[in-house]
Amino acid sequence: MMFLFERDTWQEVYDSLTKNKLRSILTMIGVWWGILLLIGLLGAARGLENSFNRLFGDFATNSVFVWGQSTSKPFKGFQEGRMVNLTLTDAKKIEENVEGIEFVVPRNQNSSLVVRNFQSGTFSVNGDYPLLDKVQKKKLIHGRFLNQSDIDDNKKVAVISEDIYLQLFEKDADVIGEYIQINSINFRVIGMFKNGNQNMGPTSDLHIPFTTFQQIYNQGERIGWMMLTGKPEADIKQVEEDAKLLLKNLNKVHPEDKRAFGSFNLGKEFAKITGFLTGMQFLTWFVGIATLIAGVFAIGNILLITVKERTKEIGVRRALGATPFEIKRQIIVEAVFLTLLAGLLGIITGGWILIAIDSAFGQGSDAVLVNASVSIAVVFVALIILVVLGSLIGLIPAFKATSIKPIEALREE
């Protein structure tokens, strides 16, 4: 390894590459483009993945939403078109009987006028259990979310969104402990959360205890919809099918009625996205490495031409005592140096491109590519691949250089 620190080694590399600068530059372009493509595509894929993770981030992804609709088939004396209303009993039965269920979260929602002093606005009011914070984590800015005491005592407390705060409260006003009116009933604010996932499911502007919601809207046992979360190992598609079948039995709905219950399987959609991202990353690595290999082969071809041009020089070195190993080593060093130099330039350029992508597409709540970047580990892997490919491709001209006998090399014109 000491030869790498010798000035003569690098002087020879410099002389070899500068004899034909244009050819050396054109040779490096293939590797430069390959690593640039690899870094750029991997960074874009990571940005897309971050965007999806931010979109789904607040939700337990192995989940399905289920709600009641109208029947499409008559059954057991009931006519077609009957509205099906879900109840707390339905939720309890699903929790007890459907295999793979981890949480069942009944939910209610209504639109109401919310008033504070002389400010007012119409917002969605949600009746919820504390369990919601486990399956759809709230990004609390101040205070707390609902707890079991709020449910048991039917407390008139509310957790509001940042949007409500901005509309109903003065700038920099302390929100915790203040009162707002919902349907002319005073509620004490106990928490404020940051809005998120605005396009995922029903909007959540304001949360009050489920039991309090039952009272002020006279809901009784009825629920608007329920969120079913499967265990990590559970098949969420099967959970959805089993839950719907049980609900049909409980509500006297025809087994083949496909309209009576609506659902949105978040786990299934998330699996599609995960599969797409995995495929995209595989394709990125394949295209990037294929381009790198093509670029490295170009370096090998150019080095073969260089060896041909340096046949007499190599013959002189052999006549002066240079061993075949030393000749091979020098050629391989040149190949690895060219490959690494082109690769490092590609990594730097790729980094600039990712910075530009992040500035153009990664800003704001609706960003398409969030924090488009690659990890240090990926950069190291790319560099290792370059060293290995450079070494292997350098062997071809290296063996070519040592295959010529010194006396024949000295005769070469």
**CA-wise closest residue to 325 among 390, 405, 398:** 398
Residue predicted with more confidence, 192 or 272: 192
Last residue of a domain, one of 224, 240, 265: 265
Residue 319 has pLDDT above 70, yes or no: no
What is the rounded average pLDDT of the residues 221-238?
90
Same domain, 187 and 324: no
Last residue of a domain, one of 247, 265, 283: 265
Same domain, 150 and 233: yes
Which of 26-35, 312-321, 358-367 has the highest mean predicted lDDT (pLDDT)?
26-35
Residue 358 has pLDDT above 50, yes or no: yes
Same domain, 148 and 253: yes
Query: What dihedral do alpha carbons 219, 222, 224, 226 form, nearest 10°?
Result: 140
Neighbours of 130 (CB within 10 A): 18
Domain count, the chain: 2
Identify the domain containing residue 321 by its residue range: 2-56+271-411
Confidence bin at 316 (pLDDT 50/70/90): low
Structure tokens at 128: 């919820």
Residue 411 has pLDDT above 80, yes or no: no
Q: For the whole model, what pTM was predicted?
A: 0.68
Neighbours of 146 (CB within 10 A): 26
> pLDDT tens digits, residue range 106-126?
999 999 999 998 889 999 999
Characterize 299-320 residue by residue with b for buried, 16 or more Cβ atoms within 10 angstroms of its Cβ, and e for exposed: bbebbbebbeebbebbbebbee
The pLDDT assigned to 199 comes to 46
Would you say 15 and 330 are in contact if contact means Cβ atoms under 8 Å apart?
no
Same domain, 32 and 112: no
Same domain, 368 and 224: no
Same domain, 68 and 51: no
Same domain, 67 and 162: yes
* Cα dihedral 313, 319, 322, 327 sign: positive
> E strand or H helix at 220, and its extent?
none
Residue predicted with more confidence, 238 or 358: 238
Same domain, 276 and 174: no
User: Exposed (0-12), middle (13-18) or buried (19+): which is 89, by Cβ within 10 Å?
Assistant: exposed
> pLDDT tens digits, residue range 185-203?
999 999 999 876 444 555 6
Q: How high is the mean pLDDT of the chain?
A: 82
> E strand or H helix at 164, and its extent?
helix 162-168
